[in-house]
């Protein structure tokens, strides 16, 4: 057993453990926060106390996926408020100690929920050496659409710009886009990176839902250590948001990151699934490119003709309700009630069956259910 960067590392079992004294320190800081609020009868706290709590949460989140969700919203609000505190050292030091921040109710609820389970085994050991991915998914987005596929959980899907607009999901458009089999749609100013992140979220939702459905009747069928999903994409920004969304100041990315993190913190993926992202050079992301670029492959048949990887895969349909949720994230701020309802929708939305052989989606049809 060795200690490294504040963690205990068991070199025989190859696991990383968050020390108990760190967990106890976090508990004491949370108790101090609640005592201060109870005494002042308000939801205010000093930035310094919040930063200390946040620092411990971020540190322990390495071995606690749930901790990531608890840090996101508090990190966002602290970033916004501290950026307006000024640059003078004396003023900044006084601000951190004396200024009071009103903690929004959703964040306070997160912290109270965390404290209630902190004494349990929330920070369980994490595997030091990740096994090879059990499922690899590839996604891409273009000015004409989005698409994704996997040979491990065999499936492929594609959505056109018109599909996204029909679900009120803003699309990238520096100029008007024309699909060869669709009418030109009105452009809306959303960056292509956001659309590539949307494609990753869609495929992760689809894959994890099918895994949960597949193993619900027979948990023993899970591979040792659970599933490792490797998301391949040719956009470094979209991939970085899987791990480092707190660093962005863009509200739309923050909302989408909170949404995805909450889904990955649900009971099944939190216990049995780990997600990693890896960059794939654009010239190697040919198959996902064919599915997203309708100018390269206007039909399913033309995409499969150009790629032997896509030829044996079944097609799948995607519920309109999921795209509508993502459209809301791009346009609106989250509320606690909407957040709870959205998580219910993600886990109850009907999964249309895979279509094989002659029953596959054909021609210029898309995967919109």
Q: What is the DSSP letter of 137?
A: E
Q: Assess whether 192 and 291 both reside in one domain.
A: yes
Q: Assess whether 93 and 169 both reside in one domain.
A: no
366 lies in some domain: no
20-38, pLDDT tens digit by residue?
Answer: 888 889 889 989 888 877 7
Please tell me the total count of domains within the chain.
Answer: 2
> What is the distance between the alpha carbons of residues 171 and 174, in angstroms, rounded to a whole number?
10
User: Over the Cα atoms of the chain, what is R_g?
Assistant: 22
Q: Assess whether 120 and 226 both reside in one domain.
A: no
Q: Assess whether 167 and 111 both reside in one domain.
A: no
123 lies in some domain: yes
Biggest alpha carbon–alpha carbon distance for the chain: 72
Query: Angle formed by the axes of helices 336-348 and 192-216, to 10°?
Result: 60
44 lies in some domain: yes
367 lies in some domain: no
**Is 258:334 a contact under the CB 8 Å cutoff?**
yes
Q: Assess whether 19 and 154 both reside in one domain.
A: no
Note the residue count of the chain: 369
365 lies in some domain: no
The parent domain of residue 216 ranges over 135-359
Decide: helix, strand or coil at residue 42: coil
Lowest mean pLDDT among 55-69, 250-264, 315-329: 55-69
Short-list 272, 278, 264, 262, CA closest to 227:
272
Instruction: Inform me whether the pLDDT recorded for 269 exceeds 50.
Output: yes
Short-list 37, 16, 19, 82, CA closest to 246:
82
> What is the distance between the alpha carbons of residues 13 and 15, in angstroms, rounded to a whole number?
6
- Out of 75, 96, 127, a domain closes at 127
236 lies in some domain: yes
Q: Assess whether 201 and 220 both reside in one domain.
A: yes
122's tokens: 């929330």
69-108, pLDDT tens digit by residue?
Answer: 666 777 777 877 777 766 666 677 777 777 888 887 777 8
Work out the average pLDDT over 49-66: 79
Short-list 263, 338, 260, 257, CA closest to 76:
257
211 lies in some domain: yes
So what's the pLDDT on residue 93? 77
Q: Assess whether 20 and 73 both reside in one domain.
A: yes
Q: Assess whether 123 and 139 both reside in one domain.
A: no
- Out of 110, 127, 144, a domain closes at 127
369 lies in some domain: no
Buried b (16+ CB within 10 A) or exposed e, 32-49: ebeeeeeeeeeeebbbeb
Instruction: Inform me whether the pLDDT recorded for 14 exceeds 50.
Output: yes
Say how far residue 299 (Cα) sits from the centre of its chain.
30
Q: Assess whether 272 and 324 both reside in one domain.
A: yes
- List for the chain the helix, strand, coil content (%; round to 5): 50, 15, 35
Instruction: Inform me whether the pLDDT recorded for 207 exceeds 60.
Output: yes
Q: What is the dihedral of CA 154, 163, 254, 338, to 10 degrees?
A: -100
> What is the distance between the alpha carbons of residues 133 and 125, in angstroms, rounded to a whole number?
19
> What is the distance between the alpha carbons of residues 75 and 350, in angstroms, rounded to a whole number?
34
326-357, pLDDT tens digit by residue?
Answer: 988 887 777 777 888 899 999 999 998 899 98
Q: Assess whether 108 and 213 both reside in one domain.
A: no
So what's the pLDDT on residue 293? 93
Q: Assess whether 193 and 76 both reside in one domain.
A: no
> What is the distance between the alpha carbons of residues 21 and 31, in angstroms, rounded to a whole number?
15
Q: Assess whether 153 and 109 both reside in one domain.
A: no
110-168, pLDDT tens digit by residue?
Answer: 788 778 777 665 455 556 566 689 999 999 998 889 999 999 999 999 999 889 888 88
- Out of 127, 154, 174, a domain closes at 127
Say how far residue 223 (Cα) sits from the centre of its chain.
23
């Amino acid at each position: 057993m060795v200690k490294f960067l504040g963690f205990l590392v068991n070199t025989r079992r190859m696991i990383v453990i968050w020390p108990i004294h760190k967990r106890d320190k976090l508990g004491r800081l949370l108790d101090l926060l609640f005592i201060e609020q109870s005494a002042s009868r308000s939801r205010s706290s000093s930035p310094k106390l919040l930063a200390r709590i946040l620092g411990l949460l971020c540190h322990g989140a390495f071995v606690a996926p749930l901790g990531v969700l608890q840090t996101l919203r508090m990190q966002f609000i602290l970033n916004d408020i501290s950026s307006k505190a000024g640059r003078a050292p004396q003023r900044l030091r006084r601000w951190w100690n004396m200024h009071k921040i009103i903690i929004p109710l959703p964040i306070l609820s997160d912290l109270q929920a965390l404290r209630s389970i902190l004494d349990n085994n929330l920070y369980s050991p994490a595997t030091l050496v990740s096994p090879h991915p059990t499922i690899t998914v590839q996604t891409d987005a273009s000015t004409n659409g989005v698409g994704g596929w996997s040979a491990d959980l065999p499936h492929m899907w594609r959505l056109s710009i018109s599909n996204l607009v029909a679900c009120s999901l803003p699309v990238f458009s520096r100029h008007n886009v024309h699909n060869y089999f669709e009418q030109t749609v009105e452009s809306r100013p959303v960056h292509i990176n956001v659309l590539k992140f949307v494609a990753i979220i869609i495929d992760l939702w689809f894959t994890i839902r099918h895994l949960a459905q597949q193993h619900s009747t027979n948990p023993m069928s899970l591979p040792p250590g659970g599933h490792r999903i490797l998301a391949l994409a040719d956009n470094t920004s979209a991939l970085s948001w899987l791990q480092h969304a707190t660093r962005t100041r863009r509200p739309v990315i923050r909302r989408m990151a909170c949404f995805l993190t909450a889904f990955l913190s649900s009971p099944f993926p939190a216990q049995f699934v780990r997600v990693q992202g890896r960059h794939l050079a654009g010239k190697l992301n040919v198959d996902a490119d064919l599915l997203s670029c309708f100018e390269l492959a206007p039909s399913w048949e033309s995409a499969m003709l150009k790629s032997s990887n896509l030829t044996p895969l079944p097609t799948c349909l995607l519920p309109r309700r999921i795209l509508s949720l993502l459209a809301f994230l791009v346009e609106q701020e989250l509320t606690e009630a909407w957040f709870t309802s959205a998580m219910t929708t993600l886990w109850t939305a009907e999964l249309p069956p895979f279509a094989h052989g002659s029953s596959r989606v054909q021609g210029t049809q898309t995967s919109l259910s």
